[in-house]
Structure 1
Amino acid sequence: MTSLLKKLMAVSILMFCATLAVAQEDPPEEDVNAVDSEVYLAPVVVDGEEIFSVRGSTALPAEERADLVNTRIIEVATRNEATEVHMRIERSELGRSIYADGTLVTVTTTADADFEQMDIVVLAQLHADAVEEAILLYRANRTDEAFSYGAIAAGIWSLVFGLYCAILLWLRKRVPRLVARLVERRARALQKATADIVQSSAVSNLARFFIRLLVDITLFTGFYYYLSFVLLSFPNTRPIAELLIRYVTDPILGILAGFLSYLPNLITILIIAAITRWLIKGTRLFFESVDQGVIELHAFEEHWIWPTFNLIRGGLIVIAAVICFPYIPGSDSAAFQGLTILVGVMVSLGSNSVVSNVLAGLFVLYKRSMNVGDRIRVGDFYGDVMQIRLMETYLKSVKNELISIPNATLLSSEVINYSSKIDGKGLLLHTSVGIGYEEPRKKVEAMLIESARRTTGLKKSPAPFVLVTGLSDFATIYQINAFTTRGSSLPLMLSELHKNITDVFNENQVQIMTPNYEADTAELKISDVDWEGPLAHEATLIPDEEPKEA
Structure 2
Amino acid sequence: MAVLRRLLQIFLLFCLCPPSQALELPERDGAAARPAAAAAVAPLVFANRTLFVFRAPLTGYSPAERAEGAHKRLLAVLAKPGAPAPSTHPIAEGTQVLLGGAQLFLVTPADINPLAGDTTDSVAAEAAATLAKALLEQREQGSLHYLLIAGALCLAATLTWMLVLHGLGRLHRWAAAWSMRTIGRRLGEVKLKNVRVLDAEHYVGFMRRLVFLLVWALRLMASYLWAAFVLGKVPYTRSWGERLEGYLLDVAGGVAQSVLGALPGLLLVLVIAVLARLVVLTAASFFQRVESGELQFGWLDRDTAGPTRRIANVVVWLFALAMAYPYLPGAQTAAFQGVSVLVGLMLSIGASSIVGQGASGLILMYARTLRKGEYVRIGDSEGTVAELGLFNVSLRTGLGEEVTLPNAWVLGQTSKNYSRAYPGTGFVLDTTVTIGYTTPWRQVHAMLELAAGRTEDIAAAPKPYVMQLALSDFYVEYRLVAYASVRTPRKRADVLNQLHQHIVDVFNEYGVQIMSPHYQRDTPEPQVVPKEQWHLAPAAPPPDGAAARDAA
Match of 1:536 in 2: 540
Match of 1:143 in 2: 142
Q: Does 1:158 align with 2:158?
A: yes
Q: CA deviation at 1:375?
A: 1.2
Letter in 2 for 1:536: A
Q: Does 1:301 align with 2:301?
A: yes
Q: 1:216-238: CA deviations, max 9, x gaps?
A: 33223323332343334334444
- SS of the aligned residue for 2:513 comes to coil
Match of 2:15 in 1: none
- SS of the aligned residue for 1:498 comes to helix
Distance 2:477 2:172 in 1: 89
Match of 1:471 in 2: 472
Distance 1:444 1:117 in 2: 112
Residue number among 495, 499, 502 corresponding to 1:500 in the alignment? 502
Q: CA deviation at 1:176?
A: 3.2
- SS of the aligned residue for 1:433 comes to strand
Distance 1:271 1:436 in 2: 80
Distance 2:517 2:75 in 1: 121
Match of 2:366 in 1: 366
TM-score with structure 1 setting the length: 0.73
Distance 1:397 1:273 in 2: 45
Distance 2:397 2:540 in 1: 33
Q: Does 1:94 align with 2:98?
A: no
1:68-87 matches, within 5 Å, as 80=78, 84-85=83-84
Distance 2:544 2:174 in 1: 70
Match of 2:32 in 1: none
Letter in 2 for 1:482: V
Task: Describe the shift of the 1:238–1:358 C-alpha distance in structure 2 as closer, same or farther (beyond 3 A).
Answer: farther
1:369-518 matches, within 5 Å, as 369-421=369-421, 429-436=429-436, 439=439, 443-456=443-456, 457=458, 464-467=465-468, 469-472=470-473, 475-484=474-483, 486=485, 490-514=492-516
Distance 1:175 1:300 in 2: 57
Q: Which moved more, 1:106-115 or 1:426-435?
A: 106-115
Count of aligned pairs: 494
Match of 1:39 in 2: none
Query: Does the 8 Å CA contact 1:459/1:482 hold for their aligned counterparts?
Result: no
Query: Does the 8 Å CA contact 1:77/1:135 hold for their aligned counterparts?
Result: no
Letter in 2 for 1:95: G
Distance 1:504 1:203 in 2: 71
Q: 1:29-65: CA deviations, max 9, x gaps?
A: xxxxxxxxxxxxx99997787979x9988x89xxx98
Query: Does the 8 Å CA contact 2:436/2:515 hold for their aligned counterparts?
Result: yes
Q: Which moved more, 1:504-513 or 1:255-264?
A: 504-513
Task: Describe the shift of the 1:484–1:113 C-alpha distance in structure 2 as closer, same or farther (beyond 3 A).
Answer: closer
Q: CA deviation at 1:273?
A: 1.6
Q: CA deviation at 1:200?
A: 4.9
1:53-452 matches, within 5 Å, as 80=78, 84-85=83-84, 94-100=93-99, 102=102, 104-109=104-109, 126=125, 129-130=128-129, 132-143=131-142, 145=144, 147-191=147-191, 195-200=195-200, 203-204=203-204, 206-242=206-242, 244=244, 249-292=249-292, 295=295, 297=297, 300-421=300-421, 429-436=429-436, 439=439, 443-452=443-452
Distance 1:452 1:68 in 2: 123
Q: Which moved more, 1:415-424 or 1:494-503?
A: 415-424
Query: Does the 8 Å CA contact 2:464/2:480 hold for their aligned counterparts?
Result: no
Task: Describe the shift of the 1:231–1:387 C-alpha distance in structure 2 as closer, same or farther (beyond 3 A).
Answer: same
Q: 1:279-333: CA deviations, max 9, x gaps?
A: 2233333334444555554664324333322222222211211111221233334
Letter in 1 for 2:466: F
Distance 1:119 1:327 in 2: 41
Distance 2:326 2:439 in 1: 86
Q: 1:181-209: CA deviations, max 9, x gaps?
A: 34344434324666112245655555455
Query: Does the 8 Å CA contact 2:188/2:196 hold for their aligned counterparts?
Result: no
Q: CA deviation at 1:271?
A: 1.6
Distance 1:397 1:210 in 2: 53
Q: CA deviation at 1:159?
A: 0.3
Query: Does the 8 Å CA contact 2:112/2:123 hold for their aligned counterparts?
Result: no
Gaps of 5+ in 1: 1-41, 546-550
Q: Which moved more, 1:82-91 or 1:395-404?
A: 82-91
Letter in 2 for 1:464: Y
- SS of the aligned residue for 1:369 comes to coil
Q: Which moved more, 1:451-460 or 1:157-166?
A: 451-460
Q: Which moved more, 1:80-89 or 1:146-155?
A: 80-89
Provide the alpha-carbon RMSD of the alignment.
Answer: 4.6
TM-score with structure 2 setting the length: 0.72
Q: CA deviation at 1:480?
A: 2.3
Query: Does the 8 Å CA contact 2:176/2:211 hold for their aligned counterparts?
Result: yes
Query: Does the 8 Å CA contact 1:468/1:479 hold for their aligned counterparts?
Result: yes
Q: CA deviation at 1:415?
A: 2.0
- SS of the aligned residue for 1:372 comes to coil
- SS of the aligned residue for 1:491 comes to helix
Q: 1:342-367: CA deviations, max 9, x gaps?
A: 22122101110111122222222221
- SS of the aligned residue for 2:383 comes to strand
Distance 1:246 1:119 in 2: 24
Q: 1:471-522: CA deviations, max 9, x gaps?
A: 35xx414222324264865433432332222112222333333599899878
Match of 2:23 in 1: none
- SS of the aligned residue for 1:371 comes to coil
Query: Does the 8 Å CA contact 1:375/1:487 hold for their aligned counterparts?
Result: no
Q: CA deviation at 1:533?
A: 5.0
Q: 1:156-201: CA deviations, max 9, x gaps?
A: 2210111112222222233432454343444343246661122456
Gaps of 5+ in 2: 1-41
Task: Describe the shift of the 1:182–1:390 C-alpha distance in structure 2 as closer, same or farther (beyond 3 A).
Answer: same
Task: Describe the shift of the 1:69–1:458 C-alpha distance in structure 2 as closer, same or farther (beyond 3 A).
Answer: farther
Distance 2:46 2:415 in 1: 88
Distance 1:544 1:76 in 2: 137
Distance 1:372 1:69 in 2: 95
Letter in 1 for 2:351: S
- Identical-pair percentage: 25
Distance 1:183 1:478 in 2: 73
Letter in 2 for 1:345: L
Letter in 2 for 1:275: L
